[in-house]
Structure 1
């Protein structure tokens, strides 16, 4: 393993592997099918990147996360390692060029989504590549019992036919025993060597707090722990609202969600990564591939939809092994709100069919047509037009995306269309007088031959690559050409892009995938009930509950979660706080915050004491939320 250590040190500047990275790498180098079940933050990518660099050929990495693929490819480029990602929106001719580069350009990594394997010609090209390892990231997506099933993952097993001697490496951060067994079956792994790291994160204190005022409690937590923090909220509006509220309290906070432009995401991410902002307020769009070791606190202001997602998100804290906190703030209304968000918006077959047919109508796709067609998409406009509920519609479209019927890119994008409105000889004359603009203009003319005849959508990043210019320079040149009446130039912002991966067949399409819909809906209900159990169970260590969910048993309490801490406090002082409260209420009515201030005890201790006094009929609560002595 000396060569592996040398590669680790050369590219990643680490002197040693974390267990079980070295064991997984050794198994892969021995040519064995391997399964790595490593909780979030465990360094899964190292497990395929290091052995791939040690062997001749190229590593095929299958991942469902476009943002994560792009992030890893960029990081590899920064390390001087050649890598390519075949993401959605790439035209066929450009994809051919990229695959040519893989075959003849000494590339080491090819990232692609499982849906790409459904294209026969892409599979044919991959069969001709010198594949040295096939890595399946987020492998739980192959299981119908997982929390993010994608049927396209079932196609991965056919690679076994074409690469019978090439090892498969399946990786996931969260899988129950049922899901793990199903992954091995569906991927046809041959006697895989299983490396399973404990789900225990001994440095993370899992806390559940029932609170009246979530903002006030956040303020307390963040002042006490001024290190980098993440606050997860339910939706985009909550992102900006919560960040603004925290800023008004004097915190440096920024926010992140899927509706931001790429530049806004990059700017806000940079503020947080460079610790110019302490707090990142985000939806669950934030986090995959984020590698920041010193996150002290992760707070969920709203209930997560599953224990898998909560474990992954909370697990972004404490990767430097220092003590950290995974906190959920709850209030009585959360269950109803969460059901409204997660359960009541699950589409049934009838609604899914309606949405699919209306989508095709919206984009004027005729029956039997539409494959590989790409469209800009504004969800709100679509829902208003057909009077569909927004969240339920989004869930329906997302389901179609995960089934591979279509591809939904939620990245904010800017569609640019151009038409040259002067004769070609005049364009040539202009180029001769403005030679600094020549590479960009020639790249446009050579890439889009019909650009004189009609408005033509252009791929800005492709033109930047071909002209060796950055996108800002191209924007400046296009603005100038517009001002001089050389081109007709339009920019339009889009919430998303949709690519149809199949021809339109209406009920035939939906009938094929609807069997998965019922299973998915049942699974989501079960997962949400597990979250409620975690929140409501007050007599078991929170770390134990998490381990039990993932099929890991332990007899020892963690000692640092909200249950363990409150247990210690209860045993230390069970009588003084109630006595203090009763003395205070003899003279005036008080709310819980006033009682906390006057007794100088923690909110949890005060609430626990109040609940005890209420249960024993010593006090009563008034309609104005103030407590009084029971007469």
Structure 2
């Protein structure tokens, strides 16, 4: 609405690209300076901003640390500076990035320009930090309540989680999301659900863009009921009629849980955020979690091995970019994958490296015959002419050396499909006209600093200790959320975000349990004992025999175990205590 450019500072490359694409689709001129763009290209893009009537310029906070970029930005007609994911400025935020601390320096150069800081999940402590660290003076604070009155937060104890999921999905056949921890569980659970008659697909960071789009479309268009996903699924998801969001493992923190469960019920209809837990979950989460927190020694070792892996000499490496496969790296050096991934995430947030998890197929290509011969080939094969001439125009150095090749770009420029371009490449390779290598990788890695080994790591080690401490506290909050049996779940979440309320929500698992008439547990206990006189049964078999809900059955079984009237055997079956 106003003249000039809005400068948006955002930490996520994928999010920036997504937003720029959305703006361009609405004919609004937007540009993003992401990692991996060479300096000369950057100069052109900034020229475009200055003279091309652009409305949005997206930048990572790390980019602001380059003096020449700052100098160029100072001369742009900026009318608003928007800081996205502003919790990254706080050391108490769940995604702290030191580069965010430099944002306040923009204040010196843009004294008259309003600053806007945005976040979806800030605790009171984080909110104070955002105001202080971005140097906002007397800011207006716009804060919506964290209460989502139509979401029923349910914590359900279930020994057999698949059986519980089956019950929930049958009862609520509308669109559902199930969040899991890792890529493997994604595919496994999706396959299990399909096998028992539900339509399901999956989504994780290692899928190619085509697969992501295809699986997402199946779910968005409701050709499948369920999408099983890791937390890579979420950006730009805006499906109003999601009925259930189920977590089958403990989330790392309440912030993530609130955001992920909040994808349910955006149409205002009643929806369910269900967290399935079993007695061993807490112990497992703590053990797994603590063993996967990288310490300083581990970080040092990872960083040095990473530099060696890409043959980067001491004092070199800045702005070098590589295709990267995490599993291959971990196998080579015998590192545990999750702990290594956490270490890389930390190095990424500190701005030492940029790790973008965009799946890509890297193609390198070189002509093996002289240009004269290539032109002769083209004249004899007119069907391949358009594709080959486009290649030669786009990559003039392709005769001298192996050149990185963008398949989709050539397809678009030559008005052909990617498959047609691939077919031509394959044919040229078979005829020994080109040398052609394609390799898949699930990330690209950019070094933002020169290699200085311990000095690099020592500089950020103090942040590592504080982040590890914060993560432990956050996990404890999640454990408190599931174990607290005497307080409304909605109130627990609001309390975490510093919002006080005296009223219970009436629809969460605690409120429903409290409102259920206290069953005659004595008569049910007697029924269970008489059933177990004749045979050993597991909890689900008992539940089916006496036709009551899981929670009640588990409660009575626990009482009977404590009273030593029954015992549980190694095969998870209960029997009478003799």
Normalising to structure 2: TM-score of the pair?
0.95
Distance (Å, rounded) in 1 between the aligned partners of 2:524 and 2:39: 71
Q: Report Cα offsets for 1:199-258 as digits up to 9, x if no partner.
A: 111111111111110101011111111111111111111110010000101111111111
Pairwise CA RMSD of aligned residues?
A: 2.1
Residue 261 (1) aligns with residue 208 (2): yes
Report deviation, 1:395.
1.2
* Residue number in structure 2 paired with 1:401: 348
Count of residue correspondences: 578
Alignment equivalent of 1:168, drawn from 100, 108, 115: 115
Report deviation, 1:579.
4.7
Q: How does 1:597-612 map to 2 (within 5 A)?
A: 597-612=544-559
Report deviation, 1:448.
3.7
Residue 376 (1) aligns with residue 323 (2): yes
Q: Name the CA shift for 1:350/1:589 in 2 (closer, same or farther; >3 Å).
A: closer
Distance (Å, rounded) in 2 between the aligned partners of 1:328 and 1:486: 58
Distance (Å, rounded) in 2 between the aligned partners of 1:449 and 1:209: 62
Q: How does 1:15-94 map to 2 (within 5 A)?
A: 54-94=1-41
Q: How does 1:343-492 map to 2 (within 5 A)?
A: 343-431=290-378, 440-460=387-407, 463=410, 471-492=418-439
Report deviation, 1:622.
4.0
SS at match of 1:398: helix
Alignment equivalent of 1:279, drawn from 226, 235, 243: 226
Report deviation, 1:310.
0.7
Report deviation, 1:77.
2.2
* Residue number in structure 1 paired with 2:495: 548
Report deviation, 1:465.
6.3
Residue 538 (1) aligns with residue 538 (2): no
* Residue number in structure 1 paired with 2:244: 297
Alignment equivalent of 2:282, drawn from 318, 335, 348: 335
Residue 621 (1) aligns with residue 568 (2): yes
SS at match of 1:133: strand
SS at match of 1:415: strand
Are the equivalent residues in 2 in contact too, given 1:566–1:605 (CA < 8 A)? no
Are the equivalent residues in 2 in contact too, given 1:343–1:524 (CA < 8 A)? no
Distance (Å, rounded) in 1 between the aligned partners of 2:48 and 2:424: 30
Distance (Å, rounded) in 2 between the aligned partners of 1:163 and 1:626: 69
* Residue number in structure 2 paired with 1:189: 136
Distance (Å, rounded) in 2 between the aligned partners of 1:217 and 1:513: 44
* Residue number in structure 2 paired with 1:581: 528
Are the equivalent residues in 2 in contact too, given 1:360–1:366 (CA < 8 A)? yes
Are the equivalent residues in 2 in contact too, given 1:305–1:531 (CA < 8 A)? yes
Are the equivalent residues in 2 in contact too, given 1:243–1:254 (CA < 8 A)? yes
Report deviation, 1:503.
0.9
* Residue number in structure 2 paired with 1:4: none
Distance (Å, rounded) in 2 between the aligned partners of 1:111 and 1:117: 11
Distance (Å, rounded) in 1 between the aligned partners of 2:310 and 2:487: 53
Q: How does 1:194-273 map to 2 (within 5 A)?
A: 194-273=141-220
Report deviation, 1:382.
1.5
Q: Name the CA shift for 1:383/1:211 in 2 (closer, same or farther; >3 Å).
A: same
Decide which moves more: 394-403 or 464-473: 464-473
Alignment equivalent of 1:107, drawn from 42, 51, 54: 54
SS at match of 2:275: strand
Decide which moves more: 475-484 or 379-388: 475-484
SS at match of 2:206: coil
Distance (Å, rounded) in 2 between the aligned partners of 1:394 and 1:261: 19
Q: Name the CA shift for 1:624/1:487 in 2 (closer, same or farther; >3 Å).
A: closer
Are the equivalent residues in 2 in contact too, given 1:139–1:183 (CA < 8 A)? yes
SS at match of 1:250: coil
Report deviation, 1:604.
1.9
Report deviation, 1:343.
1.9
Residue 310 (1) aligns with residue 240 (2): no
Residue 517 (1) aligns with residue 467 (2): no
Alignment equivalent of 2:87, drawn from 130, 140, 144: 140
Distance (Å, rounded) in 2 between the aligned partners of 1:566 and 1:286: 32
Distance (Å, rounded) in 1 between the aligned partners of 2:75 and 2:417: 34
Distance (Å, rounded) in 2 between the aligned partners of 1:206 and 1:103: 49
Are the equivalent residues in 1 in contact too, given 2:36–2:319 (CA < 8 A)? no
SS at match of 1:196: coil
Report deviation, 1:537.
0.8
Decide which moves more: 507-516 or 462-471: 462-471
SS at match of 2:516: helix
Report deviation, 1:316.
0.8
Report deviation, 1:438.
5.5
Are the equivalent residues in 2 in contact too, given 1:132–1:166 (CA < 8 A)? yes
Report deviation, 1:431.
4.6
* Residue number in structure 2 paired with 1:24: none
Q: Name the CA shift for 1:166/1:434 in 2 (closer, same or farther; >3 Å).
A: farther
Q: Report Cα offsets for 1:379-438 as digits up to 9, x if no partner.
A: 222222222222211111111111000111112111110101111223334455666756
Q: How does 1:556-567 map to 2 (within 5 A)?
A: 556-567=503-514
